Structure 1
Amino acid sequence: MANSTSSSFPIPIFYGNNYDFWSIKMTTFLMAQDLWDIVEKGYEAPPEGASVSKDQLQKDARALYFIQQALSETVFPRIIGARTAKEAWDILREEFQGSGKVRIIRLQTLRRDFENSKMKNYETVQEYCGKLKELVNQMRAYGDGITDQRVVEKILVSLTKKYNSIVTTIEGTKDLTTLSVSELIGSLEAHEKRLMAQDEDSVESVFQSKVNIRSHQTKNGGRSSWKKKGKLSTLWYLQENKSFGEGLLV
């Protein structure tokens, strides 16, 4: 029964990085095997004169086995001398999670990165928000209680200028205390698609205008036909300013 249960839950492997994420997954795995208590607390102290029960010894051995199997070949040597599951777990936590002081320093670094984050002109909504969400997940793994509302507010104030109109609309029509991060990202991505469609229409318009210029010049034998009352027409202006839309014509 135990074997069939464990086989249905793949053991998360730890390669030496992202310990906090791995420890959450591994804790859940051990809970599913009914082994977390013995990893967290170790043996229950037996009555005076009694020895640890066989059942506890077996549970501890199973828990230690799963922890060993969850480690890569480069990480496993750290716990090779551990004789109990709790001992192995504590060794890993001490080395890879660090002391309370180390965790505070790491969390401060993550918070600073979060506060300084700003969307780059070349980034899409998905790319920028994905990067921000990864920072938030790491902060939470280190014990930060950052709320979704704070994440929503951060996204809204750190987007590029081309999103100003949708930001104003969202701030004026949505309740930011209840707006979810996923809902906000969905609205921003929809706006982003509209902007991309408008850009494509603008490029197509410029392309068609320059095609018309060439066609008209060919029919009328040159550029002079585009002069009107001493002023250049819009299309003649486009032709003279080749840098505008340059590259659209082969």
Structure 2
Amino acid sequence: MAATSGAFPFPKLVKDNYERWSIQMKTFFGGQDVWEAVEEEYVELENLAGASQAVKKAAKEARVKDQKTLSLIQLGINDNIFEKIEQATTAKRAWDTLENVFKGIDKVKKVRLQSLRVVAIEESNDTETMTVDELSGKLQVHEDKIKRRNKEPIEQALQAKMNINERKDDTNKNQGGRGRGRGRGRG
């Protein structure tokens, strides 16, 4: 889990915690009354010279709210991710960029996995005569195989380490009866 800084109350956004981070930030922004800065892009009003004091005040409050929200987003991400939004001048642009980056990554992973599954099933079966339930079952079996394959290298490495340790123990036991005392009594 990412570390929190003293000034920022949540874990910083890193590559694998976007969903949780975005939920926490939405809640935090709602409590700070700045979430609308993410929903509605702030637009600088061109000419306020002839505007009423109320319009000028509202424009200033909107700008301050937007910049406060943008600074909170910037505080809530690590340095590598900051590079993705450093050009964003509004909270909405920064938020949308992060959302596109992280949701895009998830979509790419899902599409890749699904296409691998489909190719595997198409290669091994006649998909035109297959029912939806059969196809769904085959997809589940294929997914389980992938999960098992991902676990196997770890299990194999642990087994190899155990085997090495067992061999060392056996070697040490066998050497205990021989060695120093060997050759005594011969003469």
Scaled to the shorter chain, the TM-score interval is 0.3 to 0.5
Specify which structure has the bigger relative contact order, considering alpha-carbon pairs within 8 angstroms and separated by 6 or more residues: 2
TM-score w.r.t. length of structure 2: 0.46
